[in-house]
Structure 1
Amino acid sequence: MKDVLVVATEFFDLPVEEKKRFYSEDPHDQGCRLKTSIDFAREKVHFWRDNLRHICHPLEEHIQQWPDNPARYREVFGLYSVEVRNLGLRILDLICEGLGLEAGYFEGELSQGHFMSVNHYPPCPDPTLVLGLPKHGDPFTITLLNQGDVPGLQVLKDDQWIAVEPLPNAFVVNINHMLQIISNGKLKSAYHRVVASNVARMTIASFIGPSMDVVIQPAKSLVSESNPPLYKCFTFGDFTRTYITDTPKGKDPLEHLMIQS
Structure 2
Amino acid sequence: MEKMLHSAPAHGRLPECFIFPADKLPQAKATSATVSLPIVDLSLGRDEVRRAILEAGKEIGFFQVVNHGVSLEAMQDMETVCQEFFRLPAEDKAGLYSEDTGRATRIYSSTMFDTGAEKYWRDCLRLACSFPAVGDSAAAWPDKPRRLREVVERFTVQTRGLGMEILRLLCEGLGLRPDYLEGDISGGDVVLHVNHYPPCPDPNATLGLPPHCDRNLLTLLLPSMVPGLEVAYRGDWIRVEPVPGAFVVNFGCQLEVVH
TM-score grouping bracket, smaller chain normalisation: 0.5 to 0.7
Task: Name the SS of the counterpart of 2:119 in structure 1.
Answer: coil
| In the alignment, structure 1 residue 101 sits paired with structure 2 residue 193 | no
Read off the aligned partner of 2:220 and give its amino acid letter.
Answer: L
Output the CA distance in 2 between the equivalents of 1:136 and 1:85. 23
Aligned counterpart, 1:87 = 162
CA contact (8 A) 1:146 1:171 kept: yes
1:18 and 2:92 correspond: yes
RMSD across aligned C-alpha pairs, in angstroms? 1.3
Q: Distance in 1 between matches of 2:185 and 2:150?
A: 27
1:134: how far off?
Answer: 0.5
1:46-88 CA deviation, whole Å, 9 max, x = no partner?
2110101011122122100001100000011110000000000
Q: Which runs of 5+ in 2 are unaligned?
A: 1-74
- Measured at CA, do residues 120 and 56 of structure 1 come closer, stay the same or move farther in structure 2, by a change above 3 Å? same
Equivalent residues in 2 for 1:199-210, closer than 5 Å: none
Q: CA deviation at 1:43?
A: 4.3
Over 3 Å off, 4+ runs:
38-44
Assess if the C-alpha contact under 8 Å between 2:111 and 2:121 holds in 1: no
**Relative CO higher for 1 or 2, CA cutoff 8 Å, sep ≥ 6?**
2
Q: Is the 8 A contact 2:111 2:119 kept in 1?
A: no
What per-residue deviation string (whole Å, max 9, x for no partner) do you get for residues 8-57 of structure 1?
00000111111111000111112x11000166444442211010101112
Q: Alpha-carbon deviations, 1:150-186, whole Å to 9, x = none?
A: 3210000011111111211100000000001111xxx
- Where does residue 256 of structure 1 map in the other structure? none
Aligned pairs for 1:178-257 within 5 A: 178-183=254-259
Aligned partners of 2:113 and 2:120 also within 8 Å: no
* TM-score, normalised with respect to structure 1: 0.67
Residue in 2 that maps onto 1:29: 103
Match of 2:147 among 52, 72, 76: 72
Residue segments in structure 1 that go unaligned for 5+ positions in a row: 184-261
% of aligned pairs identical?
47
Give the TM-score normalised by structure 2.
0.68
* Partner amino acid, structure 2, of 1:26: D
In structure 2, the CA distance between the partners of 1:178 and 1:52, relative to structure 1 (3 Å rule), is: same
1:56 and 2:129 matched: yes
